[in-house]
């Protein structure tokens, strides 16, 4: 089935002529429904296999979207033009009637008459969630054993303070740790669905960074030039730091055979939903991490204990997970994402734990340089009771190194392939948490993939494997930076991006077009120092140009007039300090270079002159 939903001010529907012999009888010649969610539907041949399951999926999708856009009125509208492989009219009407009945329990529902050519006039609201497309079939969604186990899993929740003492999560004194409280109870609830638009979604569109792509599957986004620049800089920085740490960069395929004997076992140990596709009479799944390719590569390698720890690294563009539609929102949770994965093959638990410590410090430093500090995160450690009893001091070290109380989730038995996992979690302005940096100690896959190394004793052994993402998904890093900026804005501060990630670091605003030549010369001199500088050369008032620079979050704005053209010193509007400071060109360059030291650089993603730039959103 295919659907297209339109959050609408109104829709007016007028049946004109029967399209099929057994068209439904019409009650009114014309109908208007206001403030509603219009659901255009096309029932397909594949839906005839299991109509009742299609009804369940349609109802769930409509409920999820209606919650997000906050409407209580639904219009079900049969719209054959969405598909070229339509099911029978009898099945289609059956599905629509059953869906109408189910939805009426919670909503006011109008179903457009079936089997008619209809004229309609609809006013779509035009916000980011007002137009959404979905596609699903009659088959039951396949879940791995790990997903099913995760739903039944019983967790014991604690807070560990920096002295190593465990507290019941409900009895801990959260004074001074209010964000930890939000995180802890969010994790306990295990409710991931989002019922209102997060702040970063508005900002990612306002700043022309990222947007939804209606022509793709939900959770697959488009990146405008500024957004692509930020994403590219983050990818470059995380890759450089990982390689500097010792990562050996590789590249592996996007898809793998579902029936590969090793992979099929691993799929059932990983709690993620997969995209599956058919090719040459075989079923493949799109990877949801770099594990598969790296482990198969390690299986074929000749390894000695002298090679360990071996750190295999890939920046996966993309990894795929069929996240549930109600959980998809902006950059926070996607179906296609860029994940830096660095796996370390270790000879034994001692080496694995030593490497784990090194990698925690790497993750914390990577986040700090990106622009996110310990104050922005909450630490979660997930372990079995047995591991905690045997390695209590190691868990305490993790929390002490982090420097704040942390959430501890314990299980009676080990449900997954790892014996220990930590995450650095960002809690956003809707009190939803998302994991960024993470690392795991995997004790199964060395053996499962039959990865072997020759030990000091001359015998073959299976390595332990660490799974680390030094930053977490690159998209989620952007999400966290935008949510942090929104949080600062609510405190009365000007929202900013880290200087090294700002698409325009310096803007020159000319008083009149007579000053454009001087601005071009100045821009050339600044740009030579690897600083992104642009010129507002339009025939607009200086007030409007300054306001545009503010809307674009430009860190340094200079007004260029007669005085500036003659003097070595200029008044610079510094966004971060919210004031004007007198500087020379060299002083400005020195300040920017100092703040962006050791971070990667890329040139402007758009023409230098504002007059030559297209408008992508608006």
Distance, in Å, from the CA atom of 503 to the CA atom of 549, rounded to the nearest integer, reads: 12
Q: Strand 156-160 vs strand 406-411: parallel, antiparallel, or unpaired?
A: antiparallel
The token duo for 120 is 């309609």
The token duo for 256 is 């793998």
Enumerate the CATH 3.50.80.10 domain ranges in the chain, comma separated. Answer: 2-135
Residue 73 burial (CB < 10 Å; 0-12/13-18/19+)? Answer: middle
pLDDT at 135: 85
DSSP assignment, residue 112? P
Enumerate the CATH 3.40.50.800 domain ranges in the chain, comma separated. Answer: 499-612
Per the CB < 8 A criterion, the answer to whether 237 and 504 are in contact is no
pLDDT at 191: 67
pLDDT at 472: 97
pLDDT at 488: 94
Give me the half-sphere count of Cα atoms (radius 13 Å) on the Cβ side of residue 617. 23
pLDDT at 325: 73
Q: Which residues of the chain have pLDDT under 50?
A: 141
The token duo for 577 is 């300090």
Per the CB < 8 A criterion, the answer to whether 51 and 95 are in contact is yes
Closest to 63 measured CA to CA, from 37, 42, 27, 32: 37
The model's pLDDT over 46-75, given as tens digits with 9 standing for 90+, comes to: 888 788 889 999 999 999 999 999 999 999
Phi, psi of 313 (to 5 degrees): -130, 140
- Return the CATH architecture of domain 499-612: 3-Layer(aba) Sandwich (3.40)
pLDDT at 164: 96
Which residues have CB under 8 Å from 137's CB, separation 6+? 1, 44, 46, 47, 54
Q: Scan for tokens 């053996």, then name that residue.
A: 447
Rg (CA), the chain: 28
Q: What string of DSSP letters covers 473-529?
A: -HHHHHHHHHHHHHHHHHTTPPP---GGG-S-SEEEEESSGGGHHHHHHHHHHHHTT
Closest to 89 measured CA to CA, from 62, 119, 120, 113: 113
Per the CB < 8 A criterion, the answer to whether 255 and 285 are in contact is yes
CATH, domain range 145-482:
3.30.930.10
Phi, psi of 223 (to 5 degrees): -115, 120
pLDDT at 24: 92
Does a cis peptide bond (omega within 30 degrees of 0) precede residue 445?
no
The most distant pair of C-alpha atoms in the chain lies apart, rounded to whole Å, by 87
Q: Scan for tokens 């009125």, then name that residue.
A: 73
In our burial notation (b when 16+ CB lie closer than 10 A, e otherwise), range 3-32 reads: bbbbbbeebebebeeeeeeebbebeeeebe
Angle at 545 between CA 539 and CA 546, to 5 degrees: 155
Closest to 366 measured CA to CA, from 297, 458, 436: 436
Closest to 152 measured CA to CA, from 434, 415, 417, 419: 415
DSSP assignment, residue 243? H
Per the CB < 8 A criterion, the answer to whether 221 and 318 are in contact is no
The pTM of the whole model exceeds 0.85:
no
Per the CB < 8 A criterion, the answer to whether 267 and 289 are in contact is no
Angle at 6 between CA 117 and CA 59, to 5 degrees: 90
Alpha-carbon torsion 25, 28, 31, 36, what sign?
A: negative
Alpha-carbon torsion 197, 198, 199, 202, what sign?
A: negative
Q: What string of DSSP letters covers 209-221?
A: SEEE-TTS-TT-E
Averaged pLDDT score across all residues of the chain:
92
Enumerate the CATH 3.30.930.10 domain ranges in the chain, comma separated. Answer: 145-482
pLDDT at 85: 80
Phi, psi of 369 (to 5 degrees): -70, -30
The token duo for 253 is 């395929």
Distance, in Å, from the CA atom of 197 to the CA atom of 203, rounded to the nearest integer, reads: 11
What is the C-alpha end-to-end distance of the chain, expressed in Å? Answer: 32
Residues in the chain, total: 618
pLDDT at 190: 67
Per the CB < 8 A criterion, the answer to whether 362 and 130 are in contact is no
CA of residue 209 relative to chain centroid, distance = 13
CATH fold of 2-135 reads 3.50.80
């Amino acid at each position: 089935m295919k659907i297209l939903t339109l959050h609408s001010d109104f829709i007016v529907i007028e049946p004109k002529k029967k399209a099929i012999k057994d068209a439904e009888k019409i009650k009114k010649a014309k109908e208007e429904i206001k403030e509603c969610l219009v659901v255009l539907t096309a029932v397909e041949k594949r839906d005839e296999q299991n109509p009742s399951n299609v009804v369940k999926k349609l109802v769930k999708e409509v409920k999820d979207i209606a919650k997000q856009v906050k409407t209580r009125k639904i219009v079900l509208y049969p719209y054959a033009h969405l598909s070229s492989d339509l099911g029978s009219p009898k099945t289609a009407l059956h599905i629509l009637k059953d869906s109408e009945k189910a939805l009426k329990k919670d909503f006011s529902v109008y179903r457009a008459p079936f089997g008619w050519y209809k004229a309609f006039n609809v006013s779509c609201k035009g916000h980011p969630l007002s137009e959404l497309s979905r596609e699903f079939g009659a088959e039951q969604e396949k879940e791995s054993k790990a997903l099913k186990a995760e739903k039944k899993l019983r967790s014991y929740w604690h807070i560990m303070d920096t002295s190593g003492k465990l507290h019941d999560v409900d009895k801990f004194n959260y004074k001074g740790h209010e964000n930890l409280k939000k995180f802890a109870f969010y994790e306990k609830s295990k409710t991931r669905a989002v019922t209102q638009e997060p702040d970063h979604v508005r900002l990612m569109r306002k700043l022309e960074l990222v947007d939804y792509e209606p022509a793709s599957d939900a959770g697959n986004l488009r990146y405008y030039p500024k957004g692509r620049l930020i994403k590219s800089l983050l990818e470059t920085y995380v890759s450089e730091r990982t390689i500097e740490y010792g990562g050996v960069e590789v590249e592996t395929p996007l898809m793998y055979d579902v029936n590969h004997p090793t992979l099929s076992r691993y799929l059932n140990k990983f709690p993620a939903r997969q995209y599956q596709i058919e090719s040459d009479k075989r079923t493949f799944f799109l990877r949801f991490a770099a594990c598969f390719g790296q482990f198969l590569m390690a299986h074929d390698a000749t390894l000695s204990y002298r090679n360990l720890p071996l750190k295999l690294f890939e920046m996966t563009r993309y990894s795929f997970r069929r996240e549930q539609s109600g959980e998809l929102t902006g950059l926070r949770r996607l179906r296609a994402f860029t994940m830096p994965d660095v796996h370390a093959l270790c000879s034994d638990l001692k080496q694995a734990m030593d490497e784990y410590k090194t990698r925690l410090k790497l993750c914390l430093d990577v986040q700090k340089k990106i622009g996110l500090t310990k104050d922005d995160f909450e630490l979660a450690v997930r372990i079995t009771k047995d591991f905690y009893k045997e390695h209590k001091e190691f868990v305490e070290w993790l929390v002490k190194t982090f420097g704040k109380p942390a959430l501890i989730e314990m299980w009676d038995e080990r449900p997954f392939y790892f014996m220990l996992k930590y995450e650095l979690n960002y809690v956003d302005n809707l009190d939803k948490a998302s994991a960024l940096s993470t690392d795991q100690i995997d004790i199964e896959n060395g053996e499962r993939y039959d990865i072997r190394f020759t030990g000091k004793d001359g015998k073959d052994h299976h390595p332990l494997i660490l799974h680390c993402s030094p930053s977490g998904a690159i998209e989620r890093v952007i999400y966290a930076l935008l949510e942090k900026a929104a949080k600062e804005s609510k405190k009365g501060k000007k929202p900013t991006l880290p200087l090294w990630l700002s698409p325009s670091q310096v803007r020159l605003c000319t008083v009149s077009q007579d000053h454009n030549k001087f601005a071009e010369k100045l821009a050339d001199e600044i740009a030579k120092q690897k600083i992104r500088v642009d010129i507002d050369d339009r025939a607009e008032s200086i007030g409007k140009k300054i306001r545009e620079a503010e809307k674009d979050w430009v860190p340094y704005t200079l007004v260029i007039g007669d005085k500036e053209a003659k003097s070595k010193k200029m008044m610079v509007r510094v966004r971060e300090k919210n004031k004007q400071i007198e500087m020379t060109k060299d002083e400005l360059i020195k300040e920017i270079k100092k703040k962006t030291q050791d971070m990667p650089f890329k040139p402007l993603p758009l023409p230098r002159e504002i007059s030559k730039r297209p408008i992508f959103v608006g």
